Amino acid sequence: MTTFIFGEAMLEYHSNGGAGLRYGGDTLNTAIHLARAGHEVAYVTAVGTDAISDALVESWSAEGIDTRYVLRHPARHPGIYAIHLDALGERSFLYWRDQSAARQMFDLPGISAALEEASHGELVYFSLISLAIVDDPGREQLLALAASRKNAGKAVAYDSNFRPALWRDLAVAQEASRLAMSVCTLALPTNSDERELWRTSEDENEIARRWIENGCELVAVKAAEKGCVLATRDTDEPREFQASPVRVVDSSGAGDAFNGGFLASWLNGDTLASSVEAGQALARRTLGHQGAIEFHTPE
């Protein structure tokens, strides 16, 4: 069965260089990791009808991603982001995405078919960025899909990846994430995102308990160098997993890689501990190379 991932993909420019067509985006990064792990993945987004959009779709298809629901906007193009790294490998971003095609994916022909197919898939995955880039009706459609699946006992995964600049005010972002929390079954939040979004000083255990109390069945709280905290509805206390030391080249996409590794293992039916270990291993690998995705340049 297929995992359906909703989100935005963008062209990537790196201040440290990098040849060839480069791209990224939180949900696309996870989609690529899942596809590389051998899972069936359909990516739902929108790009333009230009030559660069064609090249993006061709590249994603070559990764093994089902691109039938990469919709085409006749007047818009992919967004762009630039990454700059400091001496410790920590990244900062600049974005040019206000007119990206993905912002209008729910207005395009083909989205109804994508939502219908996704309702029957093995897993639906999206992030708070997925909810941020679309308008209110689009957000409602995605959350309705998630709610319908959860009510039917089907899996929905959600990452509360918070980018303040994408929201007109904090209250709207909080309400969108609160609704997403209530309709997901598997949560993959990051401690720093949660603290910034909710203006709290909660530790990882408190964050995990809050997600469970809000209706989630399984939550893995990413905590960078501290590791991960895992909680389920059936356990009394969250479980802590330590992170192994790693030399950080570039922190871009590490959380997306954890999500991809965790979900790939979880979809395989592995134990939750094995899924955390798989997520951490892929995150370590991503921290060790430049860019959110490891690109292989032909020799």
Report pLDDT digits (tens) over 147-158.
Answer: 999 999 999 999
For range 113-122, the mean pLDDT: 98
**Residue 112 class from Cβ within 10 Å (0-12 exposed, 13-18 middle, 19+ buried)?**
exposed
Would you place residue 91 in the very low, low, confident or very high pLDDT band (cuts 50, 70, 90)? low
Element at 10 (helix H, strand E): strand 10-14
What pLDDT sits at residue 89?
61
What pLDDT sits at residue 293?
82
Would you place residue 41 in the very low, low, confident or very high pLDDT band (cuts 50, 70, 90)? very high
Tokens of 75: 């007047």
Q: Compute the distance between CA of residue 147 and CA of residue 206 in angstroms, rounded to an integer.
A: 25
Domains contained in the chain, CATH given: 2-287 (3.40.1190.20)
Residue 196 has pLDDT above 50, yes or no: yes
Residue 256 annotated to the active site: yes
What pLDDT sits at residue 250?
76
Q: Give pTM, 2 decimals.
A: 0.94
User: Comparing C-alpha atoms, which of 239, 235, 214, 237 is closest to residue 227?
Assistant: 239
What pLDDT sits at residue 168?
94
The residues that bridge with 66 in the sheet, in sequence order, are: 42
What pLDDT sits at residue 87?
66
For range 79-107, the mean pLDDT: 82
Q: Compute the distance between CA of residue 216 and CA of residue 182 in angstroms, rounded to an integer.
A: 7
Residue 6 has pLDDT above 60, yes or no: yes
Of 86, 136, 256, 270, catalytic:
256
Angle between helices 136-151 and 111-119 (to 10 degrees): 20
Element at 142 (helix H, strand E): helix 136-151
For range 91-95, the mean pLDDT: 73
What pLDDT sits at residue 96?
84
Would you place residue 299 in the very low, low, confident or very high pLDDT band (cuts 50, 70, 90)? very low
Would you place residue 15 in the very low, low, confident or very high pLDDT band (cuts 50, 70, 90)? low
Report pLDDT digits (tens) over 214-263.
Answer: 999 999 999 998 999 999 999 878 999 999 888 888 778 899 999 999 99
Report pLDDT digits (tens) over 264-281.
Answer: 999 999 999 999 999 999
Report pLDDT digits (tens) over 124-147.
Answer: 999 999 999 999 999 999 999 999
For range 186-196, the mean pLDDT: 97
- In the block, tokens 């985006």 appear at 25
Average pLDDT of the chain to the nearest whole number: 92
Would you place residue 17 in the very low, low, confident or very high pLDDT band (cuts 50, 70, 90)? low
